[in-house]
Structure 1
Amino acid sequence: MTFSAPNPRTVLITGGNRGIGLAIAEEFVAQGHRVAVTARSGQGPEGTLTVRADVTDAASIDAAFTEVEAAYGPVEVLVANAGITRDLLLMRMTEEDFTDVVDTNLTGAFRVVKRASKGMMKARFGRIILVSSVVGLLGSAGQINYAASKSGLVGLARSVTRELGSRGITANVVAPGFIETEMTAVLPEATQAEYRKSIPAGRFATTDEVAKVIAWLASDDAAYISGAVIPVDGGLGMGH
Protein backbone atom coordinates (compact mmCIF):
# COMPACT_ATOMS: atom_id res chain seq x y z
CA MET A 1 0.00 0.00 0.00
CA THR A 2 1.35 3.45 -0.90
CA PHE A 3 0.23 6.92 0.05
CA SER A 4 1.49 10.45 -0.48
CA ALA A 5 3.48 11.96 2.34
CA PRO A 6 2.03 15.28 3.55
CA ASN A 7 5.45 16.83 2.86
CA PRO A 8 7.34 14.76 0.27
CA ARG A 9 11.06 15.07 0.94
CA THR A 10 14.26 14.28 -0.94
CA VAL A 11 15.79 11.34 0.92
CA LEU A 12 19.29 9.87 0.47
CA ILE A 13 20.21 6.52 2.05
CA THR A 14 23.79 5.28 1.93
CA GLY A 15 24.13 1.54 1.37
CA GLY A 16 20.51 1.30 0.24
CA ASN A 17 20.82 -1.72 -2.03
CA ARG A 18 20.49 -4.53 0.53
CA GLY A 19 19.52 -5.47 4.08
CA ILE A 20 18.34 -2.70 6.37
CA GLY A 21 19.22 0.00 3.82
CA LEU A 22 16.98 -1.60 1.20
CA ALA A 23 14.07 -1.79 3.67
CA ILE A 24 14.58 1.87 4.64
CA ALA A 25 14.48 2.90 0.98
CA GLU A 26 11.31 0.86 0.37
CA GLU A 27 9.59 2.48 3.37
CA PHE A 28 10.37 6.02 2.22
CA VAL A 29 9.19 5.17 -1.32
CA ALA A 30 5.94 3.73 0.11
CA GLN A 31 5.40 7.02 1.97
CA GLY A 32 5.67 8.99 -1.26
CA HIS A 33 9.10 10.58 -0.86
CA ARG A 34 11.76 11.16 -3.55
CA VAL A 35 14.32 8.52 -2.67
CA ALA A 36 17.91 8.03 -3.78
CA VAL A 37 20.35 5.40 -2.54
CA THR A 38 24.11 5.10 -2.79
CA ALA A 39 25.62 1.74 -3.63
CA ARG A 40 29.04 0.52 -4.67
CA SER A 41 27.32 -2.20 -6.70
CA GLY A 42 23.78 -3.45 -7.28
CA GLN A 43 20.63 -1.35 -7.34
CA GLY A 44 18.22 0.18 -4.87
CA PRO A 45 14.58 -0.93 -4.83
CA GLU A 46 12.03 0.00 -7.48
CA GLY A 47 11.13 3.68 -7.42
CA THR A 48 14.57 4.86 -6.24
CA LEU A 49 17.47 6.57 -7.95
CA THR A 50 20.69 4.59 -7.47
CA VAL A 51 23.93 6.56 -7.51
CA ARG A 52 27.41 5.08 -7.36
CA ALA A 53 29.37 6.19 -4.33
CA ASP A 54 32.01 5.01 -1.90
CA VAL A 55 31.69 6.62 1.54
CA THR A 56 35.47 6.38 2.01
CA ASP A 57 35.96 8.78 -0.92
CA ALA A 58 34.82 12.39 -0.41
CA ALA A 59 34.97 13.17 -4.14
CA SER A 60 32.62 10.29 -4.97
CA ILE A 61 30.23 11.44 -2.21
CA ASP A 62 30.21 14.96 -3.64
CA ALA A 63 29.49 13.61 -7.14
CA ALA A 64 26.65 11.43 -5.80
CA PHE A 65 25.03 14.36 -4.00
CA THR A 66 25.35 16.51 -7.12
CA GLU A 67 23.58 13.80 -9.14
CA VAL A 68 20.77 13.50 -6.59
CA GLU A 69 20.37 17.29 -6.35
CA ALA A 70 20.07 17.54 -10.14
CA ALA A 71 17.33 14.90 -10.19
CA TYR A 72 15.40 15.57 -6.98
CA GLY A 73 16.63 18.83 -5.45
CA PRO A 74 18.66 19.28 -2.24
CA VAL A 75 18.82 16.33 0.14
CA GLU A 76 16.47 16.99 3.07
CA VAL A 77 16.68 13.61 4.81
CA LEU A 78 19.99 11.77 5.11
CA VAL A 79 20.20 8.20 6.40
CA ALA A 80 23.83 7.18 6.94
CA ASN A 81 23.53 3.41 6.81
CA ALA A 82 26.60 2.19 4.87
CA GLY A 83 28.85 0.02 7.01
CA ILE A 84 31.25 -2.91 7.06
CA THR A 85 32.47 -5.43 9.61
CA ARG A 86 35.85 -7.05 10.00
CA ASP A 87 35.47 -9.14 13.14
CA LEU A 88 38.62 -10.34 14.85
CA LEU A 89 39.84 -10.70 18.41
CA LEU A 90 41.98 -7.82 19.63
CA MET A 91 45.25 -9.78 19.50
CA ARG A 92 44.61 -10.69 15.84
CA MET A 93 43.19 -7.38 14.67
CA THR A 94 45.62 -5.33 12.60
CA GLU A 95 45.70 -1.55 12.59
CA GLU A 96 44.33 -1.70 9.04
CA ASP A 97 41.41 -3.87 10.20
CA PHE A 98 40.59 -1.18 12.74
CA THR A 99 41.05 1.91 10.60
CA ASP A 100 39.22 0.49 7.55
CA VAL A 101 36.08 -0.17 9.60
CA VAL A 102 36.25 3.22 11.33
CA ASP A 103 36.87 4.97 7.99
CA THR A 104 33.75 3.42 6.44
CA ASN A 105 31.37 3.42 9.40
CA LEU A 106 32.31 6.61 11.23
CA THR A 107 34.37 8.85 8.96
CA GLY A 108 32.07 7.82 6.08
CA ALA A 109 29.11 9.13 8.09
CA PHE A 110 31.01 12.36 8.74
CA ARG A 111 31.65 12.80 5.00
CA VAL A 112 28.00 12.42 4.00
CA VAL A 113 26.72 14.53 6.92
CA LYS A 114 29.13 17.33 6.04
CA ARG A 115 28.05 17.31 2.37
CA ALA A 116 24.33 17.12 3.23
CA SER A 117 24.56 19.92 5.80
CA LYS A 118 25.25 22.56 3.13
CA GLY A 119 21.80 22.25 1.59
CA MET A 120 20.11 21.68 4.94
CA MET A 121 21.54 24.87 6.44
CA LYS A 122 20.42 26.88 3.42
CA ALA A 123 16.90 25.40 3.63
CA ARG A 124 16.84 25.66 7.43
CA PHE A 125 15.50 22.11 7.48
CA GLY A 126 17.14 18.71 7.74
CA ARG A 127 16.82 15.25 9.18
CA ILE A 128 20.03 13.30 9.78
CA ILE A 129 19.67 9.70 10.94
CA LEU A 130 22.75 7.62 11.68
CA VAL A 131 22.39 3.83 11.76
CA SER A 132 24.44 2.55 14.69
CA SER A 133 24.11 -0.78 16.52
CA VAL A 134 23.39 -2.17 19.96
CA VAL A 135 27.04 -3.33 19.78
CA GLY A 136 28.15 0.32 19.86
CA LEU A 137 26.53 0.67 23.26
CA LEU A 138 27.09 -2.76 24.81
CA GLY A 139 30.42 -3.73 23.22
CA SER A 140 31.12 -7.14 21.74
CA ALA A 141 34.11 -9.44 21.91
CA GLY A 142 35.75 -9.62 18.49
CA GLN A 143 34.19 -6.36 17.34
CA ILE A 144 36.37 -3.66 18.88
CA ASN A 145 36.65 -1.86 15.54
CA TYR A 146 32.93 -2.09 14.74
CA ALA A 147 31.79 -1.16 18.26
CA ALA A 148 34.12 1.86 18.35
CA SER A 149 32.86 3.09 14.97
CA LYS A 150 29.19 2.65 15.90
CA SER A 151 29.65 4.26 19.33
CA GLY A 152 31.31 7.24 17.66
CA LEU A 153 28.11 7.99 15.75
CA VAL A 154 26.47 9.02 19.03
CA GLY A 155 29.03 11.76 19.63
CA LEU A 156 28.72 12.83 16.00
CA ALA A 157 24.92 13.16 16.17
CA ARG A 158 24.96 15.02 19.49
CA SER A 159 27.61 17.47 18.33
CA VAL A 160 25.73 18.10 15.07
CA THR A 161 22.61 18.73 17.15
CA ARG A 162 24.43 21.39 19.20
CA GLU A 163 25.91 23.02 16.07
CA LEU A 164 22.92 22.93 13.75
CA GLY A 165 19.87 22.47 15.97
CA SER A 166 18.86 26.15 15.75
CA ARG A 167 18.57 25.83 11.95
CA GLY A 168 15.75 23.29 11.92
CA ILE A 169 18.13 20.34 11.57
CA THR A 170 17.87 17.25 13.77
CA ALA A 171 20.45 14.47 14.12
CA ASN A 172 19.57 11.16 15.73
CA VAL A 173 20.96 7.66 16.07
CA VAL A 174 19.05 4.41 15.60
CA ALA A 175 20.68 1.41 17.27
CA PRO A 176 19.32 -1.89 15.91
CA GLY A 177 19.90 -5.16 17.70
CA PHE A 178 19.77 -8.55 15.97
CA ILE A 179 17.91 -8.22 12.69
CA GLU A 180 16.62 -10.84 10.27
CA THR A 181 19.03 -10.31 7.36
CA GLU A 182 21.18 -12.46 5.07
CA MET A 183 23.96 -12.17 7.67
CA THR A 184 21.92 -13.65 10.53
CA ALA A 185 20.18 -16.21 8.28
CA VAL A 186 23.46 -18.05 7.66
CA LEU A 187 24.17 -18.51 11.37
CA PRO A 188 23.66 -22.07 12.68
CA GLU A 189 20.22 -22.55 14.25
CA ALA A 190 21.82 -23.31 17.64
CA THR A 191 23.68 -19.98 17.51
CA GLN A 192 20.51 -18.12 16.54
CA ALA A 193 18.65 -19.77 19.44
CA GLU A 194 21.41 -18.72 21.85
CA TYR A 195 21.19 -15.12 20.65
CA ARG A 196 17.40 -15.12 20.98
CA LYS A 197 17.71 -16.19 24.63
CA SER A 198 19.53 -12.92 25.40
CA ILE A 199 16.77 -10.80 23.84
CA PRO A 200 13.81 -10.07 26.13
CA ALA A 201 11.48 -10.01 23.09
CA GLY A 202 12.66 -13.54 22.26
CA ARG A 203 13.06 -12.89 18.53
CA PHE A 204 15.07 -10.96 15.96
CA ALA A 205 13.65 -7.76 14.47
CA THR A 206 12.54 -7.50 10.87
CA THR A 207 14.23 -4.93 8.65
CA ASP A 208 10.81 -3.25 8.30
CA GLU A 209 10.67 -2.60 12.05
CA VAL A 210 13.94 -0.67 11.84
CA ALA A 211 12.88 1.14 8.66
CA LYS A 212 9.62 2.42 10.17
CA VAL A 213 11.43 3.92 13.18
CA ILE A 214 13.85 5.71 10.85
CA ALA A 215 11.02 7.01 8.64
CA TRP A 216 9.24 8.32 11.75
CA LEU A 217 12.39 10.16 12.90
CA ALA A 218 12.45 11.85 9.49
CA SER A 219 8.83 12.94 9.78
CA ASP A 220 7.36 16.22 11.03
CA ASP A 221 6.12 14.34 14.11
CA ALA A 222 9.73 13.97 15.31
CA ALA A 223 10.76 17.61 14.78
CA TYR A 224 11.62 18.11 18.48
CA ILE A 225 13.73 14.97 18.85
CA SER A 226 17.47 15.44 18.34
CA GLY A 227 20.64 13.96 19.78
CA ALA A 228 18.68 10.86 20.77
CA VAL A 229 19.68 7.21 20.55
CA ILE A 230 16.64 5.09 19.68
CA PRO A 231 17.19 1.37 20.31
CA VAL A 232 15.37 -1.12 18.08
CA ASP A 233 16.63 -4.21 19.82
CA GLY A 234 13.76 -5.97 21.63
CA GLY A 235 15.19 -4.86 24.99
CA LEU A 236 18.67 -6.34 24.45
CA GLY A 237 20.51 -3.13 25.28
CA MET A 238 17.87 -1.59 27.54
CA GLY A 239 18.42 1.78 25.87
CA HIS A 240 22.00 2.36 27.06
Structure 2
Amino acid sequence: MNTPEVNKRSILGLGRHVPTLSYAIQNVLMSIASMIAATLSLIFTMSIVLPLSTARVILPHSLFRRDIPGGRGKVVLIVGASRGIGFNVLKQYADEPDTVIIAASRSIDSLRKAVIELGDTRAMIQCSELDLTTSKKQLAENIRSLDKQYGPVTHLYEVSGISNHLKDGAQWGLHATEDMINVNVSGTVASVLTMYELMKERQYGKICIVGSVAGLYGPANMISYASTKSFINTFSSSLRVLAAPCGIEVVTVQPGFIDTRMTRQMRGQNSTVPGAEFASAERMAAHMKEAVEGGGIGVVSWPIRQSVMMYALKSINPICDEVGRWASMKMGMAGKKIT
Protein backbone atom coordinates (compact mmCIF):
# COMPACT_ATOMS: atom_id res chain seq x y z
CA MET A 1 0.00 0.00 0.00
CA ASN A 2 1.45 3.36 -1.01
CA THR A 3 2.10 6.18 1.47
CA PRO A 4 -0.37 8.73 0.00
CA GLU A 5 -3.18 6.20 0.42
CA VAL A 6 -2.21 5.59 4.07
CA ASN A 7 -2.11 9.35 4.75
CA LYS A 8 -5.49 9.80 3.11
CA ARG A 9 -7.07 7.14 5.30
CA SER A 10 -5.44 8.61 8.41
CA ILE A 11 -6.82 12.06 7.61
CA LEU A 12 -10.29 10.65 6.95
CA GLY A 13 -10.14 8.67 10.18
CA LEU A 14 -9.09 11.76 12.12
CA GLY A 15 -11.96 13.69 10.58
CA ARG A 16 -14.46 11.36 12.22
CA HIS A 17 -13.22 12.56 15.62
CA VAL A 18 -14.13 16.19 14.93
CA PRO A 19 -17.22 16.86 17.11
CA THR A 20 -20.56 17.44 15.43
CA LEU A 21 -22.18 20.86 15.80
CA SER A 22 -24.89 19.58 18.15
CA TYR A 23 -22.30 17.85 20.35
CA ALA A 24 -20.15 21.00 20.46
CA ILE A 25 -23.18 23.09 21.50
CA GLN A 26 -24.02 20.52 24.19
CA ASN A 27 -20.47 20.86 25.55
CA VAL A 28 -20.75 24.66 25.56
CA LEU A 29 -23.91 24.35 27.67
CA MET A 30 -22.13 21.94 30.02
CA SER A 31 -19.31 24.44 30.51
CA ILE A 32 -21.76 27.26 31.23
CA ALA A 33 -23.60 25.06 33.76
CA SER A 34 -20.27 24.18 35.41
CA MET A 35 -19.43 27.86 35.77
CA ILE A 36 -22.82 28.59 37.37
CA ALA A 37 -22.54 25.63 39.75
CA ALA A 38 -18.97 26.59 40.71
CA THR A 39 -20.04 30.18 41.40
CA LEU A 40 -22.92 29.07 43.63
CA SER A 41 -20.60 26.64 45.40
CA LEU A 42 -18.12 29.44 46.06
CA ILE A 43 -20.84 31.77 47.40
CA PHE A 44 -22.23 29.07 49.72
CA THR A 45 -18.78 28.12 51.03
CA MET A 46 -17.69 31.68 51.68
CA SER A 47 -20.95 32.96 53.16
CA ILE A 48 -21.98 29.98 55.30
CA VAL A 49 -19.25 27.36 55.63
CA LEU A 50 -16.32 29.73 56.16
CA PRO A 51 -17.97 31.63 59.08
CA LEU A 52 -18.86 28.31 60.75
CA SER A 53 -15.28 27.12 60.32
CA THR A 54 -14.00 30.35 61.81
CA ALA A 55 -16.28 29.89 64.83
CA ARG A 56 -14.85 26.41 65.31
CA VAL A 57 -11.37 27.91 65.72
CA ILE A 58 -12.60 30.31 68.41
CA LEU A 59 -14.85 27.95 70.41
CA PRO A 60 -13.44 25.42 72.93
CA HIS A 61 -12.13 22.22 71.33
CA SER A 62 -14.13 20.15 73.81
CA LEU A 63 -17.31 21.08 71.94
CA PHE A 64 -16.07 19.18 68.91
CA ARG A 65 -14.53 16.17 70.66
CA ARG A 66 -16.33 12.84 70.92
CA ASP A 67 -14.89 10.26 73.30
CA ILE A 68 -14.94 6.53 72.69
CA PRO A 69 -17.96 4.98 74.46
CA GLY A 70 -17.17 3.19 77.71
CA GLY A 71 -13.88 5.00 78.17
CA ARG A 72 -12.08 2.38 76.09
CA GLY A 73 -8.79 3.01 74.32
CA LYS A 74 -8.35 3.17 70.56
CA VAL A 75 -8.21 -0.01 68.51
CA VAL A 76 -6.84 0.92 65.09
CA LEU A 77 -7.12 -1.55 62.22
CA ILE A 78 -4.82 -0.65 59.30
CA VAL A 79 -5.39 -2.69 56.14
CA GLY A 80 -2.30 -2.42 53.96
CA ALA A 81 0.13 -1.62 56.77
CA SER A 82 3.34 -3.23 55.53
CA ARG A 83 4.78 -0.25 53.61
CA GLY A 84 4.19 3.22 52.18
CA ILE A 85 1.27 5.27 53.46
CA GLY A 86 -0.13 2.38 55.52
CA PHE A 87 3.06 1.83 57.50
CA ASN A 88 3.38 5.56 58.09
CA VAL A 89 -0.17 5.61 59.50
CA LEU A 90 0.96 2.84 61.88
CA LYS A 91 3.88 5.02 62.96
CA GLN A 92 1.48 7.90 63.68
CA TYR A 93 -0.22 5.81 66.38
CA ALA A 94 2.77 3.77 67.55
CA ASP A 95 3.64 6.00 70.52
CA GLU A 96 0.11 6.46 71.81
CA PRO A 97 -0.55 4.73 75.15
CA ASP A 98 -3.69 2.64 75.68
CA THR A 99 -3.87 2.00 71.95
CA VAL A 100 -3.97 -1.30 70.09
CA ILE A 101 -2.86 -1.31 66.46
CA ILE A 102 -3.93 -4.22 64.27
CA ALA A 103 -1.49 -4.07 61.37
CA ALA A 104 -2.91 -6.16 58.53
CA SER A 105 -1.28 -6.99 55.22
CA ARG A 106 -1.07 -9.69 52.60
CA SER A 107 2.73 -9.47 52.97
CA ILE A 108 2.88 -10.70 56.55
CA ASP A 109 6.66 -11.32 56.51
CA SER A 110 7.37 -7.79 55.24
CA LEU A 111 4.98 -6.42 57.85
CA ARG A 112 6.59 -8.24 60.76
CA LYS A 113 10.05 -7.19 59.63
CA ALA A 114 8.98 -3.53 59.43
CA VAL A 115 7.35 -3.65 62.88
CA ILE A 116 10.45 -5.25 64.43
CA GLU A 117 12.66 -2.54 62.91
CA LEU A 118 10.32 0.05 64.44
CA GLY A 119 11.52 -1.00 67.91
CA ASP A 120 9.69 -0.50 71.21
CA THR A 121 6.37 1.33 71.04
CA ARG A 122 3.90 2.57 73.62
CA ALA A 123 1.01 1.17 71.60
CA MET A 124 0.47 -2.56 71.39
CA ILE A 125 0.94 -3.76 67.80
CA GLN A 126 -0.62 -6.98 66.54
CA CYS A 127 0.37 -8.22 63.08
CA SER A 128 -2.17 -10.13 61.02
CA GLU A 129 -2.27 -11.58 57.52
CA LEU A 130 -5.21 -10.25 55.51
CA ASP A 131 -5.57 -10.98 51.83
CA LEU A 132 -8.06 -8.77 49.93
CA THR A 133 -7.98 -11.16 46.96
CA THR A 134 -9.61 -13.98 48.91
CA SER A 135 -13.36 -14.63 48.70
CA LYS A 136 -15.30 -11.71 50.08
CA LYS A 137 -17.17 -13.98 52.49
CA GLN A 138 -13.86 -15.20 53.91
CA LEU A 139 -12.48 -11.66 54.03
CA ALA A 140 -15.51 -10.48 56.02
CA GLU A 141 -15.11 -13.40 58.44
CA ASN A 142 -11.41 -12.58 58.90
CA ILE A 143 -12.17 -8.95 59.73
CA ARG A 144 -14.91 -9.91 62.19
CA SER A 145 -12.45 -12.32 63.81
CA LEU A 146 -9.87 -9.53 64.24
CA ASP A 147 -12.55 -7.30 65.73
CA LYS A 148 -13.56 -10.01 68.18
CA GLN A 149 -9.99 -10.94 69.14
CA TYR A 150 -8.46 -7.48 69.54
CA GLY A 151 -11.37 -5.07 69.38
CA PRO A 152 -13.87 -3.65 69.32
CA VAL A 153 -12.19 -1.75 66.49
CA THR A 154 -12.68 2.01 66.79
CA HIS A 155 -10.66 3.13 63.74
CA LEU A 156 -10.33 1.57 60.30
CA TYR A 157 -7.72 2.77 57.82
CA GLU A 158 -8.23 1.06 54.44
CA VAL A 159 -5.04 1.88 52.56
CA SER A 160 -4.57 -1.11 50.24
CA GLY A 161 -4.24 -0.63 46.52
CA ILE A 162 -2.37 -2.20 43.61
CA SER A 163 -1.34 -1.30 40.08
CA ASN A 164 0.51 -3.20 37.38
CA HIS A 165 3.18 -0.49 37.73
CA LEU A 166 4.46 -2.67 40.59
CA LYS A 167 5.76 -5.31 38.16
CA ASP A 168 7.76 -4.25 35.13
CA GLY A 169 6.62 -7.25 33.09
CA ALA A 170 2.91 -7.00 33.99
CA GLN A 171 1.07 -5.72 30.93
CA TRP A 172 -2.33 -4.06 30.92
CA GLY A 173 -5.36 -6.05 29.87
CA LEU A 174 -8.28 -8.00 31.27
CA HIS A 175 -6.20 -9.92 33.81
CA ALA A 176 -4.44 -6.81 35.18
CA THR A 177 -7.76 -4.94 35.33
CA GLU A 178 -9.43 -7.82 37.18
CA ASP A 179 -6.63 -7.82 39.75
CA MET A 180 -7.05 -4.10 40.38
CA ILE A 181 -10.83 -4.41 40.66
CA ASN A 182 -10.45 -7.34 43.05
CA VAL A 183 -8.18 -5.43 45.44
CA ASN A 184 -8.88 -1.73 44.87
CA VAL A 185 -12.66 -2.09 44.65
CA SER A 186 -14.08 -5.44 45.80
CA GLY A 187 -11.59 -6.07 48.60
CA THR A 188 -11.74 -2.50 49.84
CA VAL A 189 -15.54 -2.38 49.82
CA ALA A 190 -15.83 -5.76 51.56
CA SER A 191 -13.49 -4.76 54.37
CA VAL A 192 -15.07 -1.31 54.81
CA LEU A 193 -18.68 -2.50 54.81
CA THR A 194 -17.91 -5.37 57.19
CA MET A 195 -16.44 -2.91 59.69
CA TYR A 196 -19.18 -0.38 58.99
CA GLU A 197 -21.86 -2.88 60.03
CA LEU A 198 -19.99 -3.65 63.25
CA MET A 199 -19.55 0.04 64.03
CA LYS A 200 -23.23 0.73 63.37
CA GLU A 201 -24.17 -1.62 66.20
CA ARG A 202 -21.93 0.40 68.55
CA GLN A 203 -22.97 3.80 67.20
CA TYR A 204 -19.30 4.79 67.03
CA GLY A 205 -16.40 4.50 64.62
CA LYS A 206 -13.93 6.24 62.34
CA ILE A 207 -13.26 4.99 58.82
CA CYS A 208 -10.54 6.36 56.54
CA ILE A 209 -10.46 5.13 52.92
CA VAL A 210 -7.68 5.88 50.44
CA GLY A 211 -8.72 6.76 46.91
CA SER A 212 -6.59 8.96 44.65
CA VAL A 213 -6.56 12.22 42.72
CA ALA A 214 -6.10 9.93 39.71
CA GLY A 215 -9.76 9.04 40.28
CA LEU A 216 -10.63 12.70 39.70
CA TYR A 217 -8.65 13.12 36.51
CA GLY A 218 -5.77 11.31 34.90
CA PRO A 219 -4.00 10.37 31.67
CA ALA A 220 -5.80 7.95 29.37
CA ASN A 221 -3.17 5.27 29.97
CA MET A 222 -4.15 5.10 33.69
CA ILE A 223 -7.45 3.64 32.52
CA SER A 224 -7.96 0.76 35.00
CA TYR A 225 -6.17 2.14 38.06
CA ALA A 226 -7.87 5.55 37.80
CA SER A 227 -11.28 3.92 37.25
CA THR A 228 -10.98 1.83 40.42
CA LYS A 229 -9.89 4.86 42.43
CA SER A 230 -12.76 6.92 40.99
CA PHE A 231 -15.13 4.28 42.35
CA ILE A 232 -13.51 4.49 45.79
CA ASN A 233 -13.66 8.31 45.81
CA THR A 234 -17.41 8.20 45.13
CA PHE A 235 -18.09 5.25 47.42
CA SER A 236 -16.36 6.74 50.46
CA SER A 237 -17.80 10.25 49.99
CA SER A 238 -21.32 8.83 49.78
CA LEU A 239 -20.71 6.52 52.75
CA ARG A 240 -19.75 9.58 54.83
CA VAL A 241 -23.25 10.99 54.33
CA LEU A 242 -24.98 7.66 55.03
CA ALA A 243 -22.86 6.88 58.08
CA ALA A 244 -23.16 10.23 59.89
CA PRO A 245 -26.53 9.50 61.59
CA CYS A 246 -25.01 6.28 62.97
CA GLY A 247 -22.19 8.08 64.80
CA ILE A 248 -19.60 6.93 62.25
CA GLU A 249 -17.23 9.39 60.62
CA VAL A 250 -15.83 8.57 57.16
CA VAL A 251 -12.84 10.35 55.65
CA THR A 252 -11.86 10.06 51.98
CA VAL A 253 -8.16 10.37 51.17
CA GLN A 254 -7.15 11.47 47.69
CA PRO A 255 -3.35 11.46 47.58
CA GLY A 256 -1.54 13.21 44.78
CA PHE A 257 1.96 12.12 43.81
CA ILE A 258 3.31 10.50 46.98
CA ASP A 259 6.75 8.92 47.24
CA THR A 260 5.85 5.22 47.56
CA ARG A 261 6.96 1.95 46.00
CA MET A 262 4.24 2.27 43.36
CA THR A 263 5.18 5.78 42.26
CA ARG A 264 8.90 4.91 42.29
CA GLN A 265 8.09 2.13 39.84
CA MET A 266 6.09 4.60 37.75
CA ARG A 267 9.05 6.96 37.63
CA GLY A 268 11.23 4.04 36.59
CA GLN A 269 8.83 3.54 33.67
CA ASN A 270 9.54 6.99 32.22
CA SER A 271 7.06 9.21 34.07
CA THR A 272 7.82 12.86 33.23
CA VAL A 273 6.48 14.22 36.54
CA PRO A 274 9.36 16.10 38.25
CA GLY A 275 10.81 14.36 41.29
CA ALA A 276 10.09 17.40 43.47
CA GLU A 277 6.35 16.80 42.99
CA PHE A 278 6.45 13.50 44.88
CA ALA A 279 5.56 14.25 48.49
CA SER A 280 6.42 12.37 51.67
CA ALA A 281 4.30 9.37 52.67
CA GLU A 282 4.92 10.34 56.31
CA ARG A 283 3.38 13.79 55.78
CA MET A 284 0.45 12.20 53.98
CA ALA A 285 -0.16 9.88 56.94
CA ALA A 286 0.02 12.83 59.36
CA HIS A 287 -2.67 14.69 57.40
CA MET A 288 -4.85 11.57 57.43
CA LYS A 289 -4.60 11.16 61.19
CA GLU A 290 -5.31 14.85 61.75
CA ALA A 291 -8.52 14.59 59.71
CA VAL A 292 -9.66 11.38 61.39
CA GLU A 293 -8.98 12.52 64.95
CA GLY A 294 -10.01 16.16 64.57
CA GLY A 295 -13.20 15.71 62.58
CA GLY A 296 -14.74 18.24 60.24
CA ILE A 297 -12.76 17.07 57.19
CA GLY A 298 -14.49 14.94 54.59
CA VAL A 299 -11.74 14.75 51.98
CA VAL A 300 -7.99 14.84 52.58
CA SER A 301 -6.30 15.92 49.34
CA TRP A 302 -2.56 16.42 49.51
CA PRO A 303 -0.36 17.95 48.19
CA ILE A 304 -2.96 20.71 48.00
CA ARG A 305 -1.68 22.27 44.77
CA GLN A 306 -2.13 18.96 42.95
CA SER A 307 -5.62 18.34 44.30
CA VAL A 308 -6.73 21.89 43.45
CA MET A 309 -5.64 21.34 39.85
CA MET A 310 -7.40 17.95 39.61
CA TYR A 311 -10.67 19.31 41.03
CA ALA A 312 -10.51 22.15 38.51
CA LEU A 313 -10.10 19.61 35.69
CA LYS A 314 -13.23 17.78 36.90
CA SER A 315 -15.30 20.70 35.67
CA ILE A 316 -14.22 20.64 32.03
CA ASN A 317 -16.66 19.44 29.38
CA PRO A 318 -16.35 15.98 27.73
CA ILE A 319 -14.56 17.27 24.62
CA CYS A 320 -11.87 19.01 26.67
CA ASP A 321 -11.76 16.03 29.02
CA GLU A 322 -10.87 13.76 26.12
CA VAL A 323 -8.23 16.18 24.79
CA GLY A 324 -6.72 16.55 28.26
CA ARG A 325 -6.46 12.80 28.84
CA TRP A 326 -4.77 12.37 25.46
CA ALA A 327 -2.39 15.30 26.06
CA SER A 328 -1.37 14.17 29.57
CA MET A 329 -0.77 10.65 28.24
CA LYS A 330 1.41 11.99 25.41
CA MET A 331 3.33 14.13 27.91
CA GLY A 332 4.15 10.92 29.82
CA MET A 333 2.76 11.95 33.20
CA ALA A 334 2.06 8.33 34.18
CA GLY A 335 4.96 6.89 32.18
CA LYS A 336 4.63 4.89 29.01
CA LYS A 337 2.89 1.90 30.54
CA ILE A 338 -0.88 1.38 30.37
CA THR A 339 -2.23 0.62 33.83
How high is the TM-score relative to the length of structure 2?
0.59
Residue 144 in structure 1 maps to residue 223 in structure 2: yes
Deviation, structure 1 residue 190: 11
Distance (whole Å) between structure 1 residues aligned to residue 269 and residue 198 of structure 2:
48
When structure 1 is superposed on structure 2, of 170-179 and 30-39 the one drifting more is 30-39
Q: Tell me the equivalent position of 2:150.
A: 72
Question: Greater share of helix residues, 1 or 2?
Answer: 2
Distance (whole Å) between structure 2 residues aligned to residue 178 and residue 162 of structure 1:
27
Query: How many residues of Structure 1 are paired with residues of Structure 2 in the alignment?
Result: 223
Q: Return closer, same or farther for 1:163/1:21 CA change in 2, 3 Å cut-off.
A: same
Distance (whole Å) between structure 2 residues aligned to residue 189 and residue 98 of structure 1:
21
Q: Tell me the equivalent position of 1:3.
A: none
Secondary structure at the aligned position of 1:216 is classed as helix
Residue ranges of structure 2 left out of the alignment (5+ in a row): 1-66, 117-123, 166-170, 312-339
Letter in 1 for 2:305: G
Distance (whole Å) between structure 2 residues aligned to residue 236 and residue 191 of structure 1:
20
Q: CA-atom RMSD, angstroms?
A: 2.7
Residue ranges of structure 1 left out of the alignment (5+ in a row): 1-5
Deviation, structure 1 residue 186: 5.6
In 2, are the aligned partners of 1:24 and 1:215 still within 8 Å (CA)?
A: yes
Per-residue deviation, residues 148-197 of structure 1 (Å, max 9, x unmatched):
111111221133223221011121211111122234446669967x4238
Q: Return closer, same or farther for 1:124/1:16 CA change in 2, 3 Å cut-off.
A: same
In 2, are the aligned partners of 1:14 and 1:21 still within 8 Å (CA)?
A: yes
Q: Tell me the equivalent position of 1:124.
A: 203
Q: Return closer, same or farther for 1:65/1:187 CA change in 2, 3 Å cut-off.
A: closer
When structure 1 is superposed on structure 2, of 28-37 and 203-212 the one drifting more is 28-37
Distance (whole Å) between structure 2 residues aligned to residue 213 and residue 82 of structure 1:
17
Identity %: 24
Deviation, structure 1 residue 234: 4.3
* Aligned 1:9-158 pairs, distance under 5 A: 9-32=74-97, 33-41=99-107, 42=109, 43=111, 45-46=115-116, 47-57=124-134, 58-86=136-164, 93-158=172-237
Distance (whole Å) between structure 1 residues aligned to residue 77 and residue 139 of structure 2:
11
Deviation, structure 1 residue 10: 0.9
Residue 205 in structure 1 maps to residue 279 in structure 2: yes
How high is the TM-score relative to the length of structure 1?
0.81
Q: Return closer, same or farther for 1:38/1:205 CA change in 2, 3 Å cut-off.
A: same
